A and B are shown apart, each in its own frame.
Chain A
Amino acid sequence: MSDALEVLDQVGKWKEAGKGVAVATVIVTWGSSPRPVGSQLGVDETGAMVGSVSGGCIEGAVVKEALDAIKDGKPRLLDFGVSDEQAWDVGLACGGKVQVFVEKVN
C-alpha cells in the first residue's frame, strides 16, 4: 500500500509541473489477480506511467483510457478478465478478473 503513496507523490510532481494527470485504481478483484485492491497507476498526458494495476497485462489499455480521461475529465470504470471480449488483446493470463477505476486529477 505504501507504493500507492509513491504513485501519488509522482502524480503530485506531474501536477505541479502543469501536466494533465490521471490515476487508475484497482477497486475489485476476482480469482487470482496480480495486484491487490487499492493498487494504483499514475499516468501523465504524455503516457508516462508510475506504479501498476496488474503484472503488465492491462496497463496498455488502462493508459489509453487514462489519456482519454485527461482529455474529457470523465471518470471511467473498466473491467478486465478472461471473459472480457478484449481477452485476446489485454486479458489477464492468470485467469483473474479486475475492475479498474480511472479518474483525472483536478
Chain B
Amino acid sequence: MQAKTLAALQQARSARKAIVLATRLSDAAETLIYPDRVEGAQAGDATLVAAARRALGTGKSETIDVGSEKIFLNVYVPPPRLIIVGAVHIAQTLAPMATMLEFDVTVVDPRGAWATSQRFPGVKIIKEWADEAFQEMGLDVSTAVVTLTHDPKLDDPALESALKSDAFYIGALGSRKTHAKRKERLSQVGITDEMFARVHGPVGLNIGAKSPAEIAVSILGQIIEVRARRLEALAVPKVVAA
C-alpha cells in the first residue's frame, strides 16, 4: 500500500465519503474509485471500474477476476453515525457504548449545563437546537437519531427534522402514553401517521431494561438490528441487478 493511498482513505473517511480501493494481487498496484472519479494504476480499466462502482453500491468487499488478474476490491464506507438529542443521564452511557460499537457519536443539547465535555469526555458535543444542528450536519442514510430529553420543546423539533431526512433509524424515549401525545403534536406540524411510523417508540428492544446502561443496551440492540436488516435488504437486489 502506498502512503498516499493511506492518506486518501483517511481523507474520504473524515469527509464521510465512500471509496473503493482496488488492489491487483500480483503486484499490489492500486486504483482508487470514488463515486465521481478514478485514480491510479488501473484507472483506464472499464471492467474493473464498473465492478468497483457496483461494490460501492452494495458496500461489500470482494475479490474479482479481471482478465488473468485477481483484483481485491476493498470498500471503505463511512462509519454509521449516532446523534443523541439530550445530554441526559442515559446519554452518558449510550455515548461511550455506541463509540465502542464504532458509531461516530454526537450529542446535541442547547442546554449548556448538560452538554459539557466533563459529562461526555471525548464525545462530540453540539450546543444548539437539534433542528439547527441537523441542518448543518446533513442526516444521511448511515445516520441514527435518538431523542432522550423527554421535553417536547427539545424532542419535537428534532423528530420533525429527522423524519424529513434519510436517517436509517429514529428513536424516541418515552412511555406509550408520551409517544401517543407526541404523535398528536407532530401531526399538527404536518407529520402524517405514515411518516411518524418510522419513529421507534418507546425506544429500544423490549428486554426489560431499567437502569440507564440497560436502556442504552436496548437502544443499541435495536439500532444494530435495524441497520443489519437494511444492509441485508440492500445487498440482495444489487446482486440480482448485477
Contact = CB atoms under 8 A, between A and B. Distances in A.
B6 A8 contact: yes
A46 interface: no
B76 A77 contact: no
Given A1-B61, A75-B27, A105-B3, 14 more contacts: A2-B102, A5-B76, A5-B79, A8-B6, A8-B10, A12-B10, A15-B6, A25-B74, A27-B61, A27-B72, A75-B28, A103-B28, A105-B1, A106-B2
B96 to A, nearest CB: 16
Contact of B10 (A5, A99, A103): A5
Interface of A: 1-6, 8-9, 11-12, 15, 23, 25, 27-28, 36-38, 75, 77, 99, 101, 103-106
B3 A1 contact: no
A38 B75 contact: yes
A2 B23 CA distance: 19
Interface residues of B, number: 27
Contacts of B25: 27, 75, 77, 101
Interface of B: 1-3, 6-7, 9-10, 13, 23, 25, 27-28, 59-63, 72, 74-80, 102, 104
Contacts of A12: 6-7, 10
14 contacts: A2-B78, A2-B80, A3-B102, A6-B102, A11-B6, A27-B25, A37-B60, A38-B61, A38-B74, A75-B25, A99-B63, A101-B25, A106-B2, A106-B3
Contacts of A104: 1
A22 B188 CA distance: 58
A36 to B, nearest CB: 8
Nearest to B4: A106
Contacts of B62: 37
Nearest to A73: B28
Contacts of A105: 1-3, 6
